Structure 1
């Protein structure tokens, strides 16, 4: 397939500075947590990446453990074979911290673990470097200095351009930033789980780190903040396929369905889908520079990208959303 990107790809996307750096992130980026493994439809994977780029989405998020540790293989092949001439227009990220090989060095934050994981990720993708490389989770049993200094060494070696953390509370994220700053290495982002139904980061200080921007994953609460579950649990949904999913099960979905219906009414009055409004809601929150979406179809990416060009949610509608969801969202860790 000879892919030629849309000449209008940058017309409708917003780009925001990341942290204290000069790097701009697209307001929406594409993640590969699901649906990009070696068991996925490869042609569909290509179409999703091409569609994203055509929408001005220039940032693509993977990790060492995504799709049973195969997402990097699939993504790398697509970027090398079909987007190599556009590599300088694209930000490709990966992460180390969650388990991707057996044994005591296959996870967490020791220097041995994170450097070996980074090197494996580069081999799997076939890339020369990552634009942003993450510490995927805080390791309570390893000095933070060891984890961040190891990743700073990787930047000095040209394996990554910028550093970031993910799933860190505010205090730990700020400390990571200060360690990296002492090495003259830019640490720019804390990637966190945040959406209308999951507001735990509002109490852990992550929004108070002035030196770091937020990238928010699970913006649609894995499909709940859409029309997908309004009439029950579809068999082809995540909840239908994974009945023990801690985020999507009868106990968590059904009490929220009425709230979803009411929010759909607000979205409809704005002339947009609930998914678009949920993304717009995040883009108006404190410190948020980019929203990380997942998708199984190209059409879903197009729909989400349209949220960027929509009007801001009014203060009265923001209050209505809070009232509708009161008591239904997670506030604390």
Structure 2
């Protein structure tokens, strides 16, 4: 059956401009990190990806190392793009990243010139694309001089392989340093994608990342909005000691009893709003216009649609925000 996108797709999820740039993103972006790849049947992956697009999620976030095995998430997306989404290319924002271990040998990771060029070429091949909309340096490279990384990213734009560039997992100080080089090069830098959620706020807020990006015509994309699922109603009675937290959220396990108390208090706020805890956590992130989009994953239609329901109630009152802040700062 030939796929035809839902006619009302842009009425489902709001979209946002990234600062004052020409880039527009849906408030919710679909991430392919762990959820789709060689261990999931392609038919299931296709169903979830197309349902996301039918609901106005037109941004798909990938990386060269994503999937149960490296590259399989890009291959999965590429198969769906080739069979169904190619006619909609001008509507899609397709992003990928390079920097974490991607192939054997010392050139298979970090942000040297050869590595970034080879990684993007491989990503384009896997996804059957001529270009990506955003190409990210996936992590800070402590060994390669920053100018080499910045120039490599700039060259990829000039070659037509990426429209915009971004960084991911850079601190505010690191981001400021590469922005200075991008300004000299006139590189279209638009985003830093970082771990940001109710329980992990320091880098985005305390270190002034949000303001730095806004001052430089860029925005923040938040990944891990649910802290690997901790910000859901599944762990209100506790979570195991070996809970697989992302490294950026590892501190959450320092005092598990206090975290569980916070989860229950936040869940009560969500219930008063007629939302799940997960929906509240995403609405809380989107309260700030400088958060251009949040990346979430889903491996089933039900999971996808539950998350999309956040769009039904994104407004948080001053009283609710104060209540949430008091919970998070206890």
- TM-score over 0.5 for the alignment? yes
Structure 1's unaligned 5+ residue stretches are 234-238, 328-333
Deviation string for 1:191-211 (max 9, x for gaps)?
010000011212333122122
Mark the CA change 1:42 to 1:254 in structure 2 (over 3 Å): closer, same or farther. farther
Q: Does 2:63 align with 1:63? A: yes
- Equivalents in 2 of 1:311, 1:111: separation in Å? 41
Secondary structure in 2 aligned to 1:319?
helix
**2:223 corresponds to:** 217
**1:109 corresponds to:** 111
- Once the two structures are overlaid, the 10-residue window that deviates more, 123-132 or 314-323, is 314-323
- Equivalents in 1 of 2:244, 2:84: separation in Å? 38
**1:315 corresponds to:** 318
**2:162 corresponds to:** 160
**2:200 corresponds to:** 198
Mark the CA change 1:132 to 1:229 in structure 2 (over 3 Å): closer, same or farther. same
- Equivalents in 1 of 2:36, 2:288: separation in Å? 29
Q: Give the drift of 1:47.
A: 1.4
* Aligned pairs (5 A) from 1:195-274: 195-201=197-203, 202-209=205-212, 210-211=215-216, 212-233=218-239, 243=243, 245=245, 247=249, 253-274=256-277
- Equivalents in 1 of 2:20, 2:146: separation in Å? 21
Aligned partner (choices 97, 114, 127) of residue 129 of structure 2? 127
Q: Give the drift of 1:78.
A: 0.7
Deviation string for 1:83-103 (max 9, x for gaps)?
111111111100011111111
- Once the two structures are overlaid, the 10-residue window that deviates more, 91-100 or 123-132, is 123-132
**1:330 corresponds to:** none
- Equivalents in 1 of 2:153, 2:227: separation in Å? 30
- Equivalents in 2 of 1:10, 1:322: separation in Å? 32
Contact 1:168/1:206, CA 8 A, preserved across alignment = no
Q: Give the drift of 1:230.
A: 2.0
Aligned partner (choices 177, 182, 185) of residue 183 of structure 1? 185
Q: Give the drift of 1:115.
A: 0.9
Mark the CA change 1:254 to 1:223 in structure 2 (over 3 Å): closer, same or farther. farther
Deviation string for 1:134-177 (max 9, x for gaps)?
01111122121110110110111111111111111123223323
Secondary structure in 2 aligned to 1:215?
strand
Mark the CA change 1:41 to 1:315 in structure 2 (over 3 Å): closer, same or farther. same
Mark the CA change 1:260 to 1:40 in structure 2 (over 3 Å): closer, same or farther. same
Q: Give the drift of 1:232.
A: 4.7
- Equivalents in 2 of 1:322, 1:121: separation in Å? 41
**1:236 corresponds to:** none
* Aligned pairs (5 A) from 1:72-87: 72-87=74-89
**1:305 corresponds to:** 308
Q: RMSD across aligned C-alpha pairs, in angstroms? A: 2.0
- Equivalents in 2 of 1:28, 1:219: separation in Å? 11
Q: Give the drift of 1:258.
A: 2.5
Q: Give the drift of 1:279.
A: 0.6
TM-score (norm 2): 0.91
Contact 1:96/1:108, CA 8 A, preserved across alignment = yes
Q: Give the drift of 1:124.
A: 1.6
Secondary structure in 2 aligned to 1:228?
helix
- Equivalents in 1 of 2:26, 2:289: separation in Å? 16
- Equivalents in 1 of 2:255, 2:300: separation in Å? 25
Q: Give the drift of 1:244.
A: 5.7
